[in-house]
Structures are given as C-alpha cells and as structure tokens.
Chains A and B, each alone.
Chain A
Amino acid sequence: MSQPPPDRTDFIHSEEFLSGLMKRQLKLSISCASAFLILLFGLPLMNYLAPGFMAQRVGGFTLTWLILGVLFFPYVWIIAKWFIVRSMALENAEVKTAADGNKRSS
C-alpha cells in the first residue's frame, strides 16, 4: 500500500491511533452483529431441524410464529441500545486517548 508521507506528526494522525480506533469499533460492531445473526439464521435452521418443537403452541401462537412475529423486535432493540451506549463510551474514550497521546508526542 502506498501511504503518503504524514503531513502531521501528532498522535491523532498516526497509524497507531487509526488502526486501534478501527479495530475497537469493528470489534464492538461485530460482537453486536453476532448476537443478531445467531437468532436471524438460527431461527430458520431450527425450523428446518426441529419443526415439531417449533410448532408447539404457546398461547395460541406456534412457538416459531411467536418468536418471529413478536419477540424478535424487542430482542433487536436491546442489541441496538447496548451498541449505542457502548459506542458512545468508546468515542469518549477515544477523544481522551487522542488528547493524552498528543500531549505525549509534543
């Protein structure tokens, strides 16, 4: 990869800061996405592998209908809320890291 010569030498513009930043963000996003994908692809797989179990009645619904038609939504809200709280905390921490890093490098 051809990188331009860094025109600024402070910590914020360093490779170290950027790769750390992206790695932490991606890690958070992927962990939240996994929680979502497990249910998203797990449900059709359960329907496929254990149709009798998923067809049992829960208050008139079949179990799989109850999960997909109703319970899926709150599950996703919880993931979203968790992500937002964590990512805002992450941003604040990054601002602090950047400030500390700049102090060190100057």
Chain B
Amino acid sequence: MNIDPWILAFSAVTVLVTIIMGFRSAKSSKSASDFFVAGRSVSVGWNASAISGEYLSAASFMGIAGMVMLSGYDALWYPVCYACGYLFLLLFIAGPLRRFGAYTIPDFAEGRFDSPVFRKIAVCFVLFIGFFYTMPQMKGAGTTLAYIFPGLPYWVGVAVVGAVITLNVALGGMKGITLVQAVQYWIKMFAISVPIFVLLSVYGGYGKNLSLNKSSADSPPAIVQTVDPANTTRTERLALPEKAPKDEAWIAPFGPLTTKAAKASGLSAEEARPLSLLYTVSLIVALVCGTAGLPHILVRFYTNPDGVAAKKTTMWVMILIGVFYVFPPIFGVLGRNFLPELYDATGSKGPDKVVLELPILIRQKYGILGSILSGITCAGAFAAFMSTFSGLLVSMTSALAHDVYGRMLRPGASAEDRMRMFKWCAILVGGVSVALGAMVEPLEINFMVGQAFAIAAASYFPLLFMSVWWRGMTMKGAATGMLTGGLCALGSATIVNASTLALDKGPMGKLFAGFGGINEFWVAHPLLRILAEQPAIWSVPLSIGLMIVVSKATRKSIPSDVRMKMLVLHAPEALGLKQEYIQEHQGAGH
C-alpha cells in the first residue's frame, strides 16, 4: 500500500502549524493566571471561535458522518443536540456562572457552598467526563493515521498523536490553546464544507442523494430514477452489501440505532417502537443537558470580560457550530450511496472513516483533486481530535495541578511549583488517555462521546442548574445528587462498553471476554439495555430529585450568606456586587 503525498502533506502542515502556534504563544503566557484562564481577556469573536474549535471534536468531524451512514435518521439527533444544547447553557447557566467568577467548576462548587470538601468531589467529575471524552478522540486519531499510513497498527496512531498533543499542552498552556483552538475551528469549517460542495456538484444535491433511499411512505413510481444522458451527474447508487441497513429502516425515525436492543431480543416492530421512542428521548436529554455541563467548555466562559460578552459569545458559538453541523450528515448520506463497502469493515476501517475516504472517489474523474480534498478532510480530522484533546487535557490537568496538588496536597506550593506540576500532570493525563484510547477501536466514536455527555448531564448539569436557581440547595444535597446521578451514568456506560467490547473479534474481545455474559442478560431484558445505554432519562431526574430531598433534610446548613451569593449570580454586573462580595469574604477571613 502506498501513501498519498497530498494527504500526508495537508495533515503534516496542520500538525506543524498547531505545534508552532502552541510554542509561540507559550512565550507570551507568563503568570499562573495567564496559564489557567488566558488572563480573562479574550474578545467575543476569538472566544466564540475557540469554544467552537474546542467543541467540534472527532465525534463531530468524523463520528457523525459515520453514524449517519451506519444508522440513518436517528443519528441526526447527535449533531442537532450537540449544537442546540448550547441554548440551554445560554438560557440558564452562562450568564450567572460568569458573574460569579471563578477559574473552574470546582471553584464554583466551593464558592457557592463555602465548602472545600465539595470541591474535591466536584474535581473527580472533571476527570471522569474528561477521560470518557478523550477515548473517542483517540479513536479518531488512530483511525486517521491508519488511513494515511495503510498498514499502521491502530494503537501506534493513538500513541503518536497522544504524545504530540501532550507535549504541546505541557509547554503551551491555555493562552496558547485559545488562539490555536480559534484557528482550528476555521480549519475544520473549511475542511468539512469545501469537499462537500465539490462532492455535491459531482453527485447531485443533498436532497437528491437522500431520495435515492426510498422510504416506506414513498409510492412506487416516485422512486424510479432515470439516468439523464445530458446530465453527467450520477443518479444511481452502488449496491448495498448484506450488512447495510435496509432503506426503509435507515431513512425513517426509530431505525437501527434505537431498535438494536429490541431486535436482539426478537421483539416485533410494533413492540419495539415504544422502546425506540424511549431511547430517542433519553438520548436527547443526555445531549442537551450534557452540553450545559461539559467542564472543558464551561471553563471558557470565564475567559469573557463580562456577562454580556459571555452571552454574545454563546450566540456566536451556536451559529458557528450550527452551520458546521449541517455538513457531516451529508457525508454519511453520500457514503451510503457511493462507499457502501465500508459497511463490511469494522473498527478503524469502518464507517467512521467515511469523511476521510469519500473525497477520493472523485479521483477517477478529476484526478488529483480527489487526493487534495481527501487531504483537506484529513487535515480537518487532525484539527478536530487535536483541538478537543488539547482542551480536555488542559481542563483535566488544571483540575489535577490547580485543585488536587495546589489545594489539597500542597496548599503552600509556590507558583513555580504549580507550573512545574502542571507539566507533570499533563504527561500523566496524556498517558492514561492513550492507554484508554488504544482499547476502544471497536466502539463508535460518536457513541462514546454521547456517553460522556450522559455523565455530564447527570452530574454537572444538575449541580449548576440547581445551584444557580434554587436558594435552598445545601452542599450535602448537591454532593449526594451529583455523585449518585453521575456515578450511576458512569457505571452503566462502562458496563455497556465492556459488553460491546466482549463481542469484538480482535484482541479486545479476548481482553473483555469476561463480560460476555452481560450480553445474554441484555437479550433477555431489552428495556434495561436501553436504560443502560442511554441512562440520562433516569439518572438526571434521580440526581435532581436527590438534590431536592437531601437539601430539604439538611436545610440548616444552607450557606448563611446565600442571599448575597444569589445577588452576585443574578444581579447585573453594573451594580458592582461582585467586588462587595469579595471584600466581605476577605473581611470574614476567607
């Protein structure tokens, strides 16, 4: 197998630019405050691009297309909820959080309840969610490198990309990252949209390609496609292999993704429909609430100069990512029509690489242009997993260096010690991420990201939402709800992944063989399988419910200055209550 020089060149340039920018801006970040939250002086445009750049991960760039190709309509919920979850963040959380002012979510948790203990609990979830989110990024890295260098083992790609980014973060910090992230958004936007415009001009429009898949509601004459000799665009697609889902199931709601568990148990289509609806609703809850509770995204709201800027930033983020998310499903549709052989492959050779490979198709017709476009999408994929992984690495490393080391282990550590520790923690987190990433080749990228969202939805989202809007919340209530909901979601996601990995025919199947028995349990209990695969529908209410019940039971421990805290969270910043609050706290010996 030979390596396409164009694809290699585009990818190499992306990686080099990222690293050089990281090093250059590392020079300009001096103080510890610069390092952690970029000195809080980032403009709306830059910050919105940076948040979008960090958010659009391998799941968005590669995973959605792969999942739409594999599962059809149901997978569209992912891009929609990834984008629209931001609305929830804007409506309920962004403004108050920014007014309160703190470096991280653990800072908020501690400040809101005056409890250093609670900070320690809150920090755990930065790491839990972070590691779940890095696994799919690592799969994206392994898949892309295996595509560029045919024959390269999956785990080598994971290790190489992991090492490069870890080094970059250890030396750059967040100031560097903001600029890098912003530029990477535009690389990704360019990389996903330009190839699509070219492909659509060759293969016909989005709607036209979709119409090649007949739905059960189509009347038979409407689906007859004719090849117009005057028009060079193809109107016929390639034959689908045996493993591909049928048209009617693929294009309609409640298709392969949401009926998998019910089908495995042999339920009829009618019996499976309510379960599919349940699956869909639970998925929506996980993604929408999860977006509002992602630690590496929330930390960026603190880099806005004021609450008004924070709101404007969110608006721009929604537009930037919304436009982006129209494109990946088109790759999935075209992939189904013109690259059906991917259905037969699994792991890093399966549908998750459709974005990378699809542009190659036009090589027959336009020669080198196909390679160039494939190079562009590879560059976009690099930008995707590199930026998200860097962002996650920064927030997980900050949690370890700033919270665990700086506050728990050695509160008296000098700024210099903390900076040194930041670098060591980055290496530690990067190493663990690579090890986890190497194990998840058989799992779908997008599915794993959805699980990270479900954990965030059951832990941080209830914490933030309830602490901002309900005065009666106590530390014990918040901690009980967050821990129970979050750990339940984490546990069920882990069980589902272990049982899926046990089915793998490769080395992971052997490693996880002990979990094979769970699959028999799933067959007997399809409802439980769905509730474990999409836990948000029960874990989010569980978390919020516990918060209310336990807070009511411990109402004596409501922070004594809760009214002042609420004023800081909600009153317009022009009233200057924040400064007053800080002075009072310093006066009181905090």
Contacts and interface: CB of A to CB of B under 8 A. Distances in A.
A17 B83 CA distance: 35
Given A18-B570, A84-B315, A94-B575, 7 more contacts: A41-B284, A48-B254, A52-B217, A58-B207, A80-B315, A84-B90, A91-B307
A87 B87 CA distance: 14
B211 interface: yes
Contact of A76 (B87, B206, B312, B570): B87
The CB with the most chain A CB atoms within 10 A, among B79, B207, B209, B323, is that of B207
A87 B570 CA distance: 11
A19 B319 CA distance: 33
Interface string A66-89: 001110111011011101100110
A43 to B, nearest CB: 9
A1 interface: yes
A48 to B, nearest CB: 5
Nearest to B84: A76
B520 to A, nearest CB: 30
Contacts of A70: 326
Contacts of A15: 563
Contact of B575 (A52, A72, A98): A98
Given A2-B556, A79-B87, A83-B90, A56 B217 contact: yes
B116 interface: no
Interface stretch (B26-34, B185-193, B273-281, B368-376): B273-281
B315 A81 contact: yes
A61 B206 CA distance: 8
Nearest to B213: A62
B560 A69 contact: no
A68 to B, nearest CB: 5
B267 interface: no
22 contacts: A2-B558, A12-B567, A18-B571, A22-B570, A32-B87, A36-B88, A45-B277, A48-B277, A51-B252, A59-B207, A60-B209, A60-B210, A61-B210, A62-B215, A62-B251, A68-B80, A72-B84, A73-B84, A77-B318, A81-B315, A87-B311, A94-B575
A47 interface: yes
A84 B307 CA distance: 11
Contacts of B469: 22, 26
A29 B91 contact: yes
A35 to B, nearest CB: 10
A77 B572 contact: no
B76 A65 contact: yes
A4 to B, nearest CB: 5
B201 interface: no
A41 to B, nearest CB: 7
Contacts of B564: 13
B530 to A, nearest CB: 14
Instruction: Categorize the interface residue count of chain A.
Output: 35 or more
B556 to A, nearest CB: 7
B560 A36 contact: no
B453 interface: no
A9 interface: no
The CB with the most chain B CB atoms within 10 A, among A29, A56, A60, A87, is that of A60
Contacts of B88: 33, 36
B538 interface: no
B180 to A, nearest CB: 26
Contacts of A21: 567, 570-571
A18 B566 contact: yes
A92 B16 CA distance: 47
Nearest to B96: A25
A35 B352 CA distance: 34
Interface in B262-304: 273, 277, 280-281, 284, 288
Given A22-B566, A62-B215, A77-B322, A84 B311 contact: yes
B211 A57 contact: yes
The CB with the most chain A CB atoms within 10 A, among B88, B91, B280, is that of B91
Q: Is the interface of A mostly helix, strand, loop or mixed?
A: helix
A95 B576 CA distance: 10
Contact of B560 (A4, A32, A54): A4
B251 A65 contact: yes
A3 interface: yes
Interface in B75-118: 76-77, 79-80, 83-84, 86-88, 90-92, 95
B284 A40 contact: yes
B211 A3 contact: no
A83 to B, nearest CB: 6
A4 B561 contact: yes
Interface string B456-493: 00000000000001011000000000000000000000
Contacts of B133: none
A80 B570 contact: no
Contact of A62 (B86, B205, B252, B318): B252
A98 to B, nearest CB: 6
B467 to A, nearest CB: 13
B430 interface: no
Contacts of B575: 12, 94-95, 98
B132 interface: no
* Top-3 shortest CB links A-B: A60-B207, A55-B217, A47-B253
A55 B222 contact: no
A73 B307 CA distance: 24
Contact of A65 (B73, B312, B572): B73
Nearest to A33: B91
B572 A94 contact: yes
A18 B123 CA distance: 30
A64 B252 CA distance: 8
Nearest to A13: B567
Contacts of B471: 1
A53 to B, nearest CB: 9
A61 B80 CA distance: 17
A28 B493 CA distance: 35
B322 to A, nearest CB: 4
B208 interface: yes
Contacts of A56: 217
